[in-house]
Amino acid sequence: MNKGNHLIVDIHNQAFDVLVDDKKLLETIVNAANEVGANIINQSRYHFGHNSSPGCTAFVMLDESHVSVHTYADDGKMALDVFTCGATSCERILRSICRQLNIKEEDVVARHVPRF
C-alpha cells in the first residue's frame, strides 16, 4: 500500500468568472477537504493582477499534505493538485470540487501518481 496518493489534474472549458474568483475557489477546496475529514493547517489565496494574465491561485495545507488550484482564466483552464497521505482520499476531494463547481467529467484530465 502507498503512503500517499497524488492527483495532477487539468480542467478545461471553465467560465472566466469562476477562474478569477479566488475567494470562491478557496472556499471550494476548503469545503472539499472538510468533506473528507482532512485536517486543514493553513490556507491562502491570491488574485492575479499587475503584469499577470487573469486568474488566481488558492492553496490549502493539510496535515495529510495539500490541495492547490491555479487558473488561466483567458484560456478557461484550471490546474489542480491534490496530494494526500494515509487514508484521506484524493479522489473524493476531486469529486467534491467537481460537484461544487459543476465541472463536467469530460473536461477533467486526471493523472494518479502513487507516492512512496
Q: What amino acid positions are annotated as catalytic residues?
A: 65, 70, 85
CA gap 94, 21 in Å, rounded: 18
Longest dimension (CA), the chain: 45
Buried b (16+ CB within 10 A) or exposed e, 31-49: ebbeebebeeeebebebbe
Degrees (nearest 5) of the Cα angle 10, 16, 19?
Answer: 50
